[in-house]
Chain A
């Protein structure tokens, strides 16, 4: 048994050098690098094999394809041509890059242990073997030896006991250690919640994902090319440049994205939406650091619109960079407060807030409501759990609005949350409450009317909906009675209620405000013709 294990070891060790021959790597060195004189080239190759590539760290510069290795090979050859001897060349490089550049470390005080280890191991091993043999071959040790008892009975039993380092014990301890180390490693780096999966289905999944990824990449490439062509055809069209920026961003073409955004910003005469997009792109290009130019853009954006979500997020990030964690938390807290419940950036903001809180050493409980871990967790939740969490938050919002029913944006947020939860009736009710409170907000009234129109498609409800629409219509009329959108809805709901005369009146006046040849005007005329008895 021991013999066969030993034989296996020997086999493995003797095969190692041959394995290097079998899988000899393709030469990294190229023909033009080589010196014309074969003797000098032989010297250069020899030196290259002794020098470590500092980028790969486990290859010699002779083996490495890294740029730095190529430079070092050229340097070695230049010094050879200049007439330096091998030792000088190695010393020169050692002075610049340190001992580490030499694959064979020099003997120095710091490397004593390294060089002495093999000898120490040999001595230790020899000592242990000698000790074991002496014990085995000495059935009755002299009584004056300190480590044995004077009792010969005991000495005899000791001689018969197996040597202290028997193979089974070694294998046993080794096995336990390996198993322990493996489980430790797995608990640190493993993923216990992932179910086991057979290899065949895993490879199938991988090839499927790579296939999908390739398709996606191709689609993005096509979109990018189309966008680029479009922007060249219409160099004055902001939309074309913005879509080019978007397409470049998806392909990771940062420079193009930045250029496109700058053009769009110039065309848009400093529009803040584009400013904040550019600031975001600059930040992405700088690996998440908010560079001075981006800071400037963010400041300009916030000056014009203090509620711009992108700029708010970036200004928090800039504060984070500066180490002002509390400031960052305040900014992001405000952003969470003004964002709709289903805003796509909330999970990201929450993650960032958690980091900031951790760095600042602030307890999570003092974070503003609706943020903290809940939203970060939402990203990892199943759809069901997420719905449940949103429901809880909606309930909270609802309770708060009961106490403060004058909060029109609050009702709006609640309505949108109900829409996300696919509870249309509650959503409509919240919209109507918002309409009641936000009496001077035309945009809100129009939005409510849109929802009512949607709900009115159900014929069973249409009469009731037409009634419910009267109040928002009256409010919209009070704000701006010739608003085209208001006129459209006024006509629509009048028709729904069967009041043909009012419908005709409203749409006639809407028709007057439309350009006569437009598509909308044509459609409206068609509807009007249908109204006529």
Chain B
């Protein structure tokens, strides 16, 4: 009965579209699909070579490139950023597993120092990015943002927003463990 099929064609098409829309709606409402989360263009590419004045040593510079001998993390933070405070405990835990290079994004050095004194300093080295230029090079669109980089300087992972207990256990710690196992 080909006739009845063409008769219901619009309804069938509509039903398919409605199902797709419903799935998207349910996933968004349940938080599974994050509409504001953006993909990073840097994944799988070499790190943007970055050289910044050091926060802890006025004479020194912090250089980020592919010449390390172990995987490391780069974390953009700022004293004015509330979620950065929230991720302080998670970074403290991660610092035991992997070197973290901090980049103080658009922050006055004295404020950054006070922030680290108040909430703990998980960083191996800290660079000052007062103008936000390094942030532009890395494609940062809001702090905190965290990148995991392989020993030969390839960006493996990017996480926008604070690292909470949940994604610390579910994403970061397993990922770092698998990196170490390699």
Residues of A whose CB lies within 8 Å of any CB of B are: 54-55, 57, 67-68, 71-72, 75, 94-100, 128, 131, 146-148, 158, 164-165, 170, 173, 177, 188, 258, 285-293, 321-323
Contacts and interface: CB of A to CB of B under 8 A. Distances in A.
Contact of A94 (B41, B45, B138): B41
Given A286-B88, A291-B119, A323-B165, A98 B41 contact: yes
B7 interface: yes
Contacts of A57: 36
B14 A286 contact: no
A136 B41 CA distance: 54
Interface stretch (B53-61, B62-70, B79-87): B79-87
Of A55, A291, A323, chain B has the most CB atoms within 10 Å of the CB of: A291
B6 interface: yes
A170 B11 CA distance: 9
Number of contact residues on B: which range applies?
35 or more
A173 B11 contact: yes
B39 A287 contact: no
B118 interface: yes
B10 A165 contact: yes
Given A98-B39, A165-B10, 8 more contacts: A71-B136, A96-B48, A96-B136, A258-B118, A287-B82, A289-B164, A291-B120, A292-B92
Contacts of A55: 141-142
A148 B3 CA distance: 7
B18 A323 contact: no
Contacts of A291: 85, 88-89, 119-120
5 contacts: A72-B136, A96-B42, A287-B86, A288-B86, A321-B165
Contacts, number: 92
B2 A147 contact: yes
Nearest to A135: B6
Give the interface centre of A55, A72, A96, A100 by most chain B CB atoms within 10 Å: A96
A98 B40 contact: yes
B26 to A, nearest CB: 9
Nearest to B92: A292
A94 B143 CA distance: 20
Contact of A95 (B7, B41, B92): B41
Contact of B38 (A54, A71, A288, A321): A54
Nearest to A96: B139
B132 interface: yes
Nearest to A54: B141
A227 B118 CA distance: 24
A137 B132 CA distance: 68
B180 interface: no
A74 to B, nearest CB: 9
A98 B18 contact: no
A96 B138 CA distance: 6
B40 to A, nearest CB: 6
Contacts of B39: 98, 100
Contacts of B118: 258, 293
B169 interface: yes
B41 A292 contact: no
B137 interface: yes
Contact of B18 (A96, A170, A177, A292): A177
The listed residue with most B CB atoms (<10 A of its CB), out of A173, A287, A289, is A289
